[in-house]
Structure 1
Amino acid sequence: MDLIARSQLEDPLVAAREATADMLSNRARNFSLPQPFYNDARLFALDMQEIFEKEWLFAGMTCEIPAKGNFMTLDIGDNPVIVVRGAEGKVHAFHNVCRHRGSRLCVKDKGKVAKLVCGYHQWTYELDGRLLFAGSDMGGDFDLASYGLKPVNVRTAGGFMFINLADEPPAIDDFLVTLEHYLEPYQMEHVKVAAESSIVEQANWKLVVENNRECYHCNGAHPELLNSLQEFDDTDDPRATPAYKALVARKQTDWDFDHVPWQLKRFGKRNRLTRTPLLDGTVSMTLDGQPGCKKLMGRLTNPDMGSLRILHLPNSWNHFMGDHAVVFRVLPLGPQQTVVTTKWLVHKDAVAGVDYDPEQLRRVWDATNDQDRRLAEENQRGINSLAYQPGPYSQTYEFGVIDFIDWYSERMLSNLGHEVPSLHLAQG
């Protein structure tokens, strides 16, 4: 038996891949997933390999690296990544791994550099990834051009930066064109991060996303958020009231007058954009529903923009209002551990303490994030029990969760090289 065949037999992920494909192919649709999807280390490794190393991920905002030499770092499982602004404003992304002996190049979350220099042996790279210096001791025939940084796919649109670790990433152009259009009124080249937080939730990343994809729990969990947020964002939602539908029609007329896009747009189950009103009489996700920043974003002249909701699976949801925006990034840390990073954006000329109070700006989502953390962690603790078995989702209140689980199942099966069954064949 050759070495490759023997290593495949010994690799516990080989059996896990087949078991995972079998569970997904035969799962009861509209039910939560079997227990291993939420707590098994082998299945978590597959999530990282087949979802987070192959799908487009939200990395950060272009305003975080505004000038040449500005960089930010993030970790996709065991894969450290650098995103850096190069010459002529171009955004590059690289594996944060020196081509000498593999040390991380950039060890800070963000910063500004003239060149990318490895702190171990001072190998030096241009901002476009070319190796410039490796020391004279490498020998006269050493080919610098053969040892540039390994690139990571990166795309930008509407102020968002997306990365993909795969050699052949899936298409994303249609979504990016629409994202650029919907964020044009915000003039994203003129925003900044006013506040930022990261919290670690002791829960599987899918539970974190599932919790976000429904507001079934909101009445019992989120008093601060419900000072401004509607529980639904679509007039076709069976829970939508006549008063909500009338409010939507009125606001859409206003948004049309201001040339601000609002129509619901879907790109499969992965991406969703829609603008929906906040509660009548409120204009922002603040405790009192009033603007958290006096200086409005972009070209907007009216704070009453509702919330432009943007979903990007597997790791981001976002709210854009007239006065500020809140963007969220989810990154798995382990089978039962996830980091959720939240950033509050305002106009770049807004002055802290004059135009906005950072603590007031973040109060609603700080509270909501902590409430969601507790919910996800309790969900995880229950799922770990021997009593857990998949339970039914509400098709009325939890259709967003159903869509997420369908998307996850389809992408996992496809990336594993298995046929995706017709959804109607696997009803619960």
Structure 2
Amino acid sequence: MNLKAGVQELLGQVRTYNVFAHEEGEYGDDDDELRDREKIIQHQRYASRLYVILFIVAFYVLIMATVMNPQTRLITVSNITPTLFDHLRSNYGQELSCPCSTISVPYKAFVSNIISLDPVCTSIFTSEQWIEALYLPNASAYIMFDFRATASSQFELLAALCSFSNDTIYQNIDTIDGNQLINVQLLSEDQVQSQVNSTIEVIRGNLQTQVPSIVQFLQIATQSNSFVSALNTASYLLIRFSSNKYTIGVQPEITVDYNQYCETESIKLPLGFYSISYINHSGVTYFDNGYDASQKFSNISETVSGFFNACYPLDAFLASTLNCLYDGSCFKTLLKYFPALNQTNLNWTASILPSSQKDVSVNDRLSNVFIDQWSIHINYSQYVTECAPSICTYTITDRTNFSYTISLLLSLYGGLIILLRFIASSVVNVASKLKFRSTIINNDHSNI
């Protein structure tokens, strides 16, 4: 019985609930249709019910809007270090902003290029002492296939190519050092590495085109102008003695089969040491191809591995692999035919080159500008110092907590009640007037 009575009492309280109980004068004394007290109370109860519905809806909307709309905060961090930046970037990614105080940082401030040349360029084989030891005053007396005829000149050419490549490399290093890394924001180490590598790859690509193209131009100029080499490779001086007089001319060189001429063929032949030379007649130096050309290679005493001769010394040297310089037995052969080498104080055993570049032609080495290794070292800490970011900022999004929701609702509660009471009262008032007018109109029609 008590429960039933309690429920009935609760329902009665709901039916009679009136938040406007003390606002009987709200509608004004001149409002004829609301002067009856019972009607006033009834209207107040209607307004109260509408007010409760509006309050529940508004309360629900505010709670959902607060919960579904997380808070965003801007966080500022100072004293930026590379380690701190990496930590922030790994946690906040694209949200992180670290503006540089200096937006343009020169490469030379944080990038080091460590370049090692081909071992042959830093060996004794490009030294003046080695080149002079290979020089023979009577080198022109040897046939074009004899290494003694061109040895000194070939290594002199090697030294020149190495020197030219080295100078060109360091000119390009100066170009790299002069480049600027421009960015408003502090870059990560990976981003810096990528940009620096990309820039250096472009410059290195230009370098690897620049040097070979110059050498190729020299080849074309030499061939197209039919220059005569002083080494008797494409042609040689011919002096004939006949009828008590000398006849001097230039004779084109020919190959072993007595059929190929430098004027018409691209010739490349291996070098060695031969027991024959341009012959002497009657005590007069007489350079002629008077011996049987088919017997040239049958007179070879030793071979020089990896060295060639051709119509033009530059063509021959570019085709060479220099394999003899990697071979101890071949090296001893050079000591045998060039006596001046034995008079030097060089350590020949230590002079033999490591085999990593064996069988690689000079032309291929030149295509890589005689670079053995190119290492790029980036001092990222120095880059951060040069960029000098004073602060980093990032935004974080927090889910709205319960206490924030309650405090927000309490701050809005007073204004919300006033607004909802006004709306509910106004709606019921307007509805009541409309109903009253409708009743009058209906009565008038009935009387007619």
User: Which category describes the TM-score, using the shorter chain as reference length?
Assistant: under 0.3
More helix by share: 2
**TM-score when scaled to structure 2?**
0.21
Highest CA radius of gyration, 1 or 2? 2
TM norm structure 1: 0.21
- More strand, by proportion: 1
